[in-house]
Amino acid sequence: MNSIPSNRQLWNRISGSYQQKHDAQIGAAPRLWGMYSIPDAQLHALGDVTGKRVLELGCGAGQWSRALAAEGATVVGLDLSEAQLGAAAGATGAARYSLVQGAAEHLPFADGSFDLVFCDFGGLSWAPPHLAVPQAARILRRGGRLVFNVASPWFEACYDEAASRVTTTLQQDYFGLNTIAEGDGATSYQLTYGDWVRVLRGAGLVIDDLIEPRPDLGTPNGYNETDPADWAHRWPAELLWVTHKP
Ligand X SMILES: C[S@@+](CC[C@H](N)C(=O)[O-])C[C@H]1O[C@@H](n2cnc3c(N)ncnc32)[C@H](O)[C@@H]1O
Closest contact distance (angstroms) between CB of 39 and ligand X is: 15
Number of residues that bind ligand X (CB under 6 A): 21
Q: How far is the CB of 154 from ligand X (least distance, A)?
A: 19
**Nearer Cβ to ligand X, position 28 or 170?**
28
Q: Which stretch binds ligand X (CB under 6 A): 57-65, 137-145, 177-185, 234-242?
A: 57-65
Helix (H, G, I), strand (E, B) or coil at 33: strand
Taking CB under 6 A as the rule, does residue 27 contact ligand X?
no
Binding residue (CB under 6 A) for ligand X from 36, 118, 121, 196: 121
- Reported as type and span, the H/E element at residue 8 is helix 4-26
Q: How many Cα neighbours within 13 Å face the side chain of 112?
A: 4
Nearest to 23 by CA among 75, 61, 67: 61
d(Cα 17, Cα 245) in Å, to the nearest integer?
A: 37
Nearest CA among 172, 180, 169 for reference residue 226: 169
One character per residue 136-175, x = contact with ligand X (rule: CB under 6 A): ----------------------------------------
- Region near ligand X per CB under 6 A, out of 68-76, 117-125, 210-218, 226-234: 117-125
Q: Is the peptide bond before 228 cis (omega within 30 degrees of 0)?
A: yes
Q: Which of 150, 135, 122, 117 is nearest to 46 (CA)?
A: 117
Work out whether the CA dihedral 174, 147, 139, 144 comes out positive or negative.
negative
Restricted to residues 60-79, the positions that interact with ligand X (CB under 6 A) are 60, 64, 79
Least Å from the CB of residue 128 to ligand X: 9
Q: Residues with Cβ < 8 Å from 74, sequence gap 6 or more?
A: 51, 52, 53, 54, 97
Question: Of residues 123, 129, 144, 215, which one binds ligand X by CB under 6 A?
Answer: 123
Decide whether 75 or 104 has the Cβ nearer to ligand X: 104
**Sequence-ordered list of residues with C-beta below 8 angstroms from that of 176, at least 6 positions apart, any chain:** none
8 versus 53: smaller Cβ distance to ligand X? 8
User: Site for ligand X (CB under 6 A): which residue of 31, 52, 58, 151?
Assistant: 58
**Interaction between residue 126 and ligand X (CB under 6 A):** yes
Binding site for ligand X (CB under 6 A): 4, 7, 11, 26, 57-58, 60, 64, 79-81, 84, 103-105, 120-123, 126-127
